[in-house]
């Protein structure tokens, strides 16, 4: 795991433990990377890798709290990922559409609550954010 990914993960843990979202733009600016695709040194690529590692450790990941500034929700590409329930999963060609249905908004809100609750419980002081090599508390 690269130092960049670890730094992004720490930023996301802080946000989750504080029950807040983080914009793609904030991560782009703070870490000097583009939004990009799921490949390479991009926000989407880092988030994909970080979330896969979090899932392996039994954590919910962070994708639902990384949001667009204009909508306050993740981009449409969020709904193209494998972990999204089939009834709201989008085909790749609809991933660029930022408009969300009511069921997509409900799903995001449920996932955000799950993320915030988990990371608040596991990182209540924000002092020991751990690394991928550490077990969650």
Q: What are the per-10-residue average pLDDT scores of the chain (137 residues)? A: 87 94 95 76 89 93 96 93 92 92 96 96 68 47
**Quick one: which of 9, 4, 6 has its CA closest to 34?**
4
Angle at 27 (CA atoms; ends 74, 73), nearest 5 degrees: 15
Residue-wise DSSP of 55-89: HHTT---SGGGEE-TTTSS--GGGGGSTTS-TTTP
Domain ranges of the chain: 3-122
Position 83 scores a pLDDT of 85
What CA–CA distance (Å, rounded) separates 9 from 26? 14
* Residue 102, beta-bridge partner list: none
What's the confidence (pLDDT) of residue 2? 83
Predicted confidence at residue 19, as pLDDT, reads: 95
Q: How many residues does the chain have?
A: 137
**Phi, psi (rounded to 5 degrees) for 66:** -95, 115
């Amino acid at each position: 795991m690269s130092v960049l990914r670890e730094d992004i993960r720490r930023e996301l843990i802080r946000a989750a433990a504080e029950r807040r979202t983080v914009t793609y733009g904030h991560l782009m600016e703070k870490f000097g990377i583009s939004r990009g695709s799921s490949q390479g040194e991009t926000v989407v690529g880092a988030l994909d890798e970080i979330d896969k590692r979090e899932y392996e450790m039994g954590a919910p990941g962070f994708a639902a709290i990384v949001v667009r500034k204009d909508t306050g929700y993740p981009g449409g590409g969020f709904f193209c990922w494998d972990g999204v329930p089939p009834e709201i999963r989008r085909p790749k060609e609809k991933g660029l559409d930022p408009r969300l249905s009511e069921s997509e908004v409900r799903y995001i809100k449920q996932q955000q609550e799950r993320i915030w609750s988990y990371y608040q419980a596991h990182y209540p002081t924000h002092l020991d954010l751990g690394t991928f090599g550490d077990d969650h508390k």
